[in-house]
Amino acid sequence: MSGGVDSKQKQGAPVITDTALRQFVGFNVKRGMNVIHFDLKQTLDPFGLRMVTFSALLLIGDNPGLSQAQLAQALSMERPNLVSIVDELAGRDLVTRDRVPTDRRTYALRLTTAGARLLAQVTAAVVEHENELFNGIDQSDLDHMIATLKLIERNGSGRS
Amino acid sequence: MSGGVDSKQKQGAPVITDTALRQFVGFNVKRGMNVIHFDLKQTLDPFGLRMVTFSALLLIGDNPGLSQAQLAQALSMERPNLVSIVDELAGRDLVTRDRVPTDRRTYALRLTTAGARLLAQVTAAVVEHENELFNGIDQSDLDHMIATLKLIERNGSGRS
DNA sequence: TATTGTTATACTCTATAACTATA
DNA sequence: TATAGTTATAGAGTATAACAATA
């Protein structure tokens, strides 16, 4: 549930502090991500989508004809994990997987009409969900946060 | 590796854009978290710790005598998932699990001397790791980001 | 009845190794 | 050789249901 660490206590140790944990940036980011992900999951569930399938739809919509390898890179995940994801989207006729004549190893991914329609609906729902979740928070604060997150991403040597 | 979406392309679709994805706050937070988590994993690995075991050690060190239920709440995870974590820490003699006389259902968790020593070493390593990862980023930007993340956490109705 | 710790279980996420077909 | 997609697999991470001991 919502109640963090400062909720009511029974006996034993008194109110639990997480000061030591909160000193680390990473822990705060993780907690924020958990909240966002939980809400996003609620939003996507009625559409039969997960965060990763929604992200894939968005990327395919934005980059028609891209390959699975390109999609994997854009999602910063490994190729094998994409197979079941694209299978799922193709199985629901949201995405087409067409052979590329010039390189018969690769598939060109495109949204179907149904895929584009679903994506539009879901995107609207997710935008609304984010607006609710961020209600009362200045857009400038969110922009500032995103800018800082991008700086961190750039500093990262590992997988993004 | 690091190279994001704007890396070199071969054939097929040209440079992939993730503009549609980046409009969502959640996606940016996820990417930042991925970078932080990847680096943190590298830092904790030599100590045989994961993010969750490190977090547990920190919380036990900060709140000696807390119960597993309290620890679960502080970590915002379900009780069953804590069992193997505490088992692991107790098995390495980093944590003691003592029966509470006044409530014989609960255990009181405390760091051993070895646990406290390891925690001190690891904490120093993680602090150093965060300093490196956030090199060139103003502390005020990080503080601002954390403040915004906490606002999001407070807005969250779901699990934090 | 309710709670603590536990067992069993399952599903998601994501990584690696190795295969195939193409290049 | 190298790459695209695939298969198989494994390990985290995390959730629920149900149980025994205790309150």
Task: Return the pLDDT at A2.
Answer: 34
- The residue assigned the tokens 């944990």 is A21
Rounded to 5 degrees, φ, ψ at A155 are -75, -25
Question: Measured between alpha carbons, how far is B10 from B20 in angstroms, rounded to an integer?
Answer: 22
Contact A38 B159 (CB under 8 A): yes
CA of A128 to C1' of D5 (A): 36
Which residues from chain A sit within 8 angstroms of residue B66, using beta carbons? 12-13, 16
Mean per-residue pLDDT for A127-148?
96
Is the Cβ–Cβ distance between B93 and B112 less than 8 Å?
Answer: yes
Question: Measured between alpha carbons, how far is A74 from A65 in angstroms, rounded to an integer?
Answer: 14
Contact A12 B134 (CB under 8 A): no
pLDDT tens track for A111-127: 999 999 999 999 999 99
Q: Which of residues 22 through 51 in chain B touch A, CB cutoff 8 A? A: 24-40, 42, 51
pLDDT tens track for A48-96: 999 999 999 999 999 999 999 999 999 999 999 999 999 999 999 999 9
Task: Return the pLDDT at A10.
Answer: 40
Task: Return the pLDDT at A146.
Answer: 97
pLDDT tens track for B38-90: 999 999 999 999 999 999 999 999 999 999 999 999 999 999 999 999 999 99
Residue A33 distance to chain B (closest CA, Å): 6
CA of A20 to C1' of C18 (A): 44
Contact B146 A25 (CB under 8 A): yes
CA of B49 to C1' of D9 (A): 24
Residue B125 region, left (φ>0) first, then alpha (ψ -120 to 50), else beta?
alpha
Angle at A44 between CA A41 and CA A50, to 5 degrees: 70
Q: With a 7 Å cutoff on the CB, does A79 touch strand D?
A: yes
Pick from B41, B12, B131, B38: nearest CA to A76? B38
Residue of B22, B152, B153 for testing the chain A interface, max A β-carbons within 10 Å: B152
- Sign of the CA dihedral running A148, A154, A158, A159: positive
pTM, two decimals, is 0.91
**CB within 8 Å of A155: residues ≥ 6 apart:** B35, B133, B134, B135, B136, B137
What confidence tier does A157 reach under pLDDT thresholds 50, 70, 90? low
> Which stretches within A5-157 are classed as H helix?
19-22, 25-44, 51-62, 68-74, 79-91, 113-133, 139-155
